[in-house]
Amino acid sequence: YNNLSKKNGAISPSVTLAITAKAKKMKADGIDIVSFGAGEPDFKTPEHIRNAAIKVIEEGSIGYTASSGMPDLKKAICEKLKEDNGLEYSTENIVVSNGAKHSIYNALGAICNPGDEVIIPVPYWVSYPEMVKMADAKPVFVETPEENGFKYTKESLLAAINDKTKAIFLNSPSNPTGAVYTEEEIKEIAKIAVENNIYVISDEIYEKLIYDGKHISIASLGDDIKKLTIVINGMSKAYAMTGWRIGYLAANKEIAKIITNMQSHATSNPNTIAQYASIEALKGDQEPIKKMIKAFDKRRKYMVERINSIKNISCREPQGAFYVMINISKLIGKNLDGYDINSSMDFAQYLLDTAKVAVIPGSGFGTDNYIRLSYATSLENIEEGLNRIEKAINKK
């Protein structure tokens, strides 16, 4: 195997997948597992969206589309960006891809050269560092500690910026922390990006899932920052469409053109049927997502209250997305029921083995004193899962 790619051979597997794979296997073996691992809404894709896809299939014209996406879908995206985010883009600024993950990968591919540095907040979404490496650039980690609401500060960003800095990742609402940046905070980041001529990859995939506060797209703060921003968004989380694989980005025309060319050789166009369904998602009835948001909010409140009532663990109230980061630092170094807890992985393993609860260890997001619980699961599961966690923590 001497001749395999050194660069791609060094890409780490997803830590989040290791524990969820084990949980899935236990479930398949008939063990009653409560899983807090989900990274996707536990709702069905709304019916009117599914029907739009069925109609296309029945009509039968399902050919290739333009590599960067169907003009009608790009128009619908432009309308969405204008209406929701106050952003004026034309269809030449938009590239539709196979999920927002693919859009981020493309964005990095369009802007990075070997030696470039890309700033990533810690805790981060698992794929950012690996995608930066795949683009031949270097991830530079900036701590966004809980005391600061899991957000960048001006000082922390300025300390990380140098001549090699090419881009900053901004993810609001955040996976895994649920943090939502305020307008003032986003203004500060925009100012830093403009002053230092650095791109911002603004991952807004959880935009619709905000319970407190308001989503501000950094690109909407002025022409200078708009030119430097690559807005990432998609259908997965807002419309319960994770499996359809449609995401998109909006960027200046030069960047959009490079990405269109890359994509035309790598994947041609994103799935045609899913593109039709996405037009319906963006332009059709928005009522189903409102219901989904209400359900998430109810679970979020329950979860935060319960977690903070359990001894030795705590959490901040997340303002968006569907995750809670639980601080487990008081448990590190303890022995619970014969298990030495020296890391978030140890604790996750302990919960899985003894309480039959699957959680994601913080080490997967670069922070070992935490575990991440998703509330994209029913209230009954949440209640049962937290009962089990409480019992497991109280064991001697």
- Strands 314-315 and 323-327 come out as antiparallel
Residue 205 contacts ligand PLP per CB under 6 A: yes
Interaction residues for ligand PLP, span 223-242 (CB under 6 A):
234, 236, 242
Q: Smallest Cα–Cα separation from 244: which of 279, 210, 294?
A: 279
Query: What is the spatial distance between Cα 56 and Cα 272, in angstroms, rounded to a whole number?
Result: 9
Considering Cα of 39, then 120, then 188, then 325, what sign does the dihedral take? positive
Q: Which stretch binds ligand PLP (CB under 6 A): 46-54, 96-104, 327-335, 341-349?
A: 96-104
In the complex, minimum distance from the CB of residue 161 to ligand PLP, in angstroms, rounded to a whole number = 22
Q: Which position among 100, 210, 228, 303 is part of the footprint of ligand PLP (CB under 6 A)?
A: 100
Q: Is 139 in the site for ligand PLP (CB under 6 A)?
A: no
CB 15 → ligand PLP: shortest distance, Å? 14
18-25 long-range contacts (CB < 8 A, ≥24 apart) are: 19/348, 19/349, 19/352, 19/358, 19/359, 19/360, 19/361, 20/358, 20/360, 22/352, 22/358, 23/352, 23/358
Q: Which residue is nearest to ligand PLP (CB)?
A: 99
Pull the structure tokens for residue 353. Answer: 């083995």
Which of 41, 247, 361, 364 is close enough to bind ligand PLP by CB under 6 A? Answer: 247
Cβ contact 32:356 at 8 Å: yes
CB of 171 to ligand PLP, least distance (A): 5
The only residue of 74, 80, 101, 133 in contact with ligand PLP, by rule CB under 6 A: 101
The nearest distance, CB 175 to ligand PLP, in angstroms, is 4
Q: Are 279 and 52 in contact (CB under 8 A)?
A: yes
Q: CB within 8 A of 207, min separation 6: which ones?
A: 84, 173, 215, 217, 233, 238
Nearer to ligand PLP, 247 or 385 (CB): 247
The 8-class DSSP code of residue 140 comes to E
List the structure tokens of 386. 């937290």
CA distances from 160 to 141, 166, 167, 177, 347 (A): 8, 11, 11, 21, 32
99 binds ligand PLP (CB under 6 A): yes
3-state secondary structure of 253: helix
Q: How far is the CB of 100 from ligand PLP (least distance, A)?
A: 3
**Selected binder of ligand PLP within 36, 89, 125, 322 (CB under 6 A):** 125
175 touching ligand PLP, by CB under 6 A = yes
Q: Which stretch binds ligand PLP (CB under 6 A): 43-51, 94-102, 155-163, 277-285?
A: 94-102
Could you give the 3-state DSSP secondary structure of residue 271? coil
Q: Which stretch binds ligand PLP (CB under 6 A): 97-105, 282-290, 303-311, 353-361?
A: 97-105
Residue 236 vs 260, nearer CB to ligand PLP: 236
From CA 176, how far away is CA 125, in angstroms rounded?
A: 6
**Which of 139, 140, 157 has the alpha carbon at shortest distance from 148?**
157
178 lies in the binding site for ligand PLP (CB under 6 A): no
Residue with smaller CB distance to ligand PLP, 125 or 350 = 125
Return the range that interacts with ligand PLP (CB under 6 A); candidates 71-79, 99-107, 146-154, 158-166.
99-107
Among 116, 117, 185, 203, binds ligand PLP (CB under 6 A): 203
Does 106 bind ligand PLP (CB under 6 A)? Our answer is: no
User: 129 or 234: whose CB is closer to ligand PLP?
Assistant: 234
| C-alpha to C-alpha distances, 4 to 1, 105, 147, 204, 325, nearest whole angstrom | 6, 21, 44, 35, 38
Window 18 to 57, contacts with ligand PLP (CB under 6 A): 39
Interface with ligand PLP by CB under 6 A: which residues?
39, 99-101, 125, 171, 175, 203, 205, 234, 236, 242, 247
